[in-house]
Structure formats: structure tokens, C-alpha cells
Amino acid sequence: MTDNASANAESADSGELRELYRELILDHARNPRHFGKLVPATHHASGINPLCGDKLELYLQVDGDRIRAAAFEGSGCAISVASASLLTETVTGLTTADASAWSNRLSASLVDAANDQDGEGLGKLRALKGVREFPSRVKCATLAWRALDAALDQNETPATTE
């Protein structure tokens, strides 16, 4: 796998960075942010990853074109919970268009290494990039973001990674 951009950025201390990201994932998995049902929510979507058994409900409170609040509940593996937690932190305060752009950027960078020209642009979400080495876990990481896309589209069909 070639990943020149991040290899250059991380060559000095890739081990430490990897450790840092692992800590970030574990922290969010153990203490998920914005966990619970959001009332009232203007947007909602379910997400299911049958391969791993991850399930979540994502809630948004959208005012005009801005996401005022985001929350989720559900259960799943550490990656899926951490990704959902990071999602709620990331999209709170963003416009819906910006939130969609984040979703696209993250999915592209996890699924397609060639598309990953801007690892820095992912901010904290770079922590999720470790899953790229484990294709089955990519679905765990993208589940919440698929639910976000569905919620923004006001699509009540559960988002699934299959």
C-alpha cells in the first residue's frame, strides 16, 4: 500500500502518532461524547453494520442550514463507537453542507488511499485512518457517517454498510 503523503508527515515518529491515535480511539470508545437521544431532533437515522454487529441511532438538531447539536446512541465495537463520538464532535456547529463534505472526505480517505491527498484536513479524524489496514473495520468506522448522510437526506431507511 502506498501512502506517501502521510508517510512523509508521520515518518519522524509514526509509532508515537499511531499510539496517540489508538489512545484517542479508546478514549472516545470508553467515554463517548454526546451519547444519548437528542430531544427534540430535526433529523434522525439508523445505521447497521451487520458484519460486526454495530448498531446506532444518530440524531441531529438542525436550525436553518446549521447543525446545532448532534448525538447518538447504540452499541458496537470500539471503532464504531469512537467514530460516532468523533462525528458528533466534528459536525456540531457546522453547516449541513460542510458536514456532508467531512463525511465524503473521511469515506474517501478510508476507502481509497489514492484519494487521500489531504490527511491533515481530517483533523482528529485521522485517528480513524488506522482501520485502512483492516478492510472489515472500515465499515465500523464509516457506519456513523453513512447514518449522517442518511439523516441529512432525511432518509428513514436504515443506513447499512452492506
How many Cα atoms occupy the beta-carbon half-sphere of 160 within 13 Å? 6
Give 6 or 161: the residue with its C-beta nearer to Zn ion. Answer: 161
Give 52 or 94: the residue with its C-beta nearer to Zn ion. Answer: 52
Give 104 or 134: the residue with its C-beta nearer to Zn ion. Answer: 134
Give 83 or 88: the residue with its C-beta nearer to Zn ion. Answer: 83
Q: Which of 140, 147, 151, 159 touches Zn ion (CB under 5 A)?
A: 140
Name the strand (E) or helix (H) holding 59.
strand 54-63
The answer to the question of residue 17 lying near Zn ion (CB under 5 A) is no
The answer to the question of residue 80 lying near Zn ion (CB under 5 A) is yes
SS3 109: helix
The answer to the question of residue 78 lying near Zn ion (CB under 5 A) is no
Q: Tell me 56's DSSP state.
A: E
Torsion region of 36: left, alpha or beta (phi above 0 gives left; psi -120 to 50 gives alpha): left
Q: Which of 29, 48, 54, 150 touches Zn ion (CB under 5 A)?
A: 54
CB 84 within 8 A of CB 50: no
The least distance separating Zn ion from the CB of residue 21, rounded to whole angstroms, comes to 17
Residue 26 to residue 40: CA distance in whole angstroms? 29
The answer to the question of residue 149 lying near Zn ion (CB under 5 A) is no
Q: Which of 52, 94, 108, 111 touches Zn ion (CB under 5 A)?
A: 52
Residue 60 to residue 70: CA distance in whole angstroms? 5
Query: Which range, of 65-73, 82-90, 137-145, 150-158, touches Zn ion by CB under 5 A?
Result: 137-145
The answer to the question of residue 77 lying near Zn ion (CB under 5 A) is yes
CB 118 within 8 A of CB 6: no
The answer to the question of residue 85 lying near Zn ion (CB under 5 A) is no
**Looking at the DSSP assignment, which residues form a beta bridge with residue 73?**
57
In the complex, the residues that contact Zn ion under the rule CB under 5 A are 52, 54, 77, 80, 140
